[in-house]
Amino acid sequence: MNAFRVVARSEPSGAEAALYADAAEKGPPAGGYRLTLLTPTPSVRVNEVVRVVHVCESVAEEAELYVMGPKPILGEYVDGVPATGSPAPGDDPFAPASYDGRVLPGPGVDTNYEVTEYAFLSPGEHTIQWRLGANVSNTLRITVR
């Protein structure tokens, strides 16, 4: 049994998307991209909802951004357990499966991803990470009391 439950997926608010500019910890760059997870609530009570904001930064000209959305989240892990679906093997993990929108060359920042929401069922430290191909985000550490 998982120590968390998926609550919902929704669009990020402007304030949540703005967290990226001041974020102290961002994911490492790999393959022209940097994935970063953010939350305005890193400390919660058992069963309180944590909103997770997803940011994909292109750090190279050839790393295109698919900026329309919100796009679904694939490759998210909570406490090391897959919490969302995974990209299909061989697919470009940064290109949405069905997309008819604007594509921009890098560098740039895309905050137009769904926000995932989780509630943790037990106290302690819990982790959330986003993995797309060779790219791995920073690790969010959520303290549940």
**Digitized pLDDT (tens) for each residue of the chain, 145 residues in all:** 577 777 867 777 778 878 898 898 999 999 999 999 999 999 999 999 999 999 999 999 999 999 998 999 999 999 999 999 988 888 888 888 888 899 999 999 999 999 999 999 999 999 999 999 899 999 999 999 9
Phi, psi of 39 (to 5 degrees): -145, 140
d(Cα 76, Cα 27) in Å, to the nearest integer?
14
Q: Which residues neighbour 24 within 8 Å (Cβ) at sequence distance 6 or greater?
A: none
What secondary structure does DSSP assign to 11-48, as a single string? PPPHHHHGGGGG-S--PPPBTTEEEEEE-S-SEE-TT-
Per domain, the residue ranges of the chain are 4-144
Among 139, 120, 141, 122, residue whose Cα is nearest residue 42: 141
Phi, psi of 47 (to 5 degrees): 75, 0
d(Cα 116, Cα 28) in Å, to the nearest integer?
21
Is residue 111 within 8 Å of residue 53, measured between CB atoms?
yes
Q: Give the CATH number of domain 4-144.
A: 2.60.40
Listed in sequence order, the DSSP H helices in the chain are: 14-17
d(Cα 145, Cα 139) in Å, to the nearest integer?
19
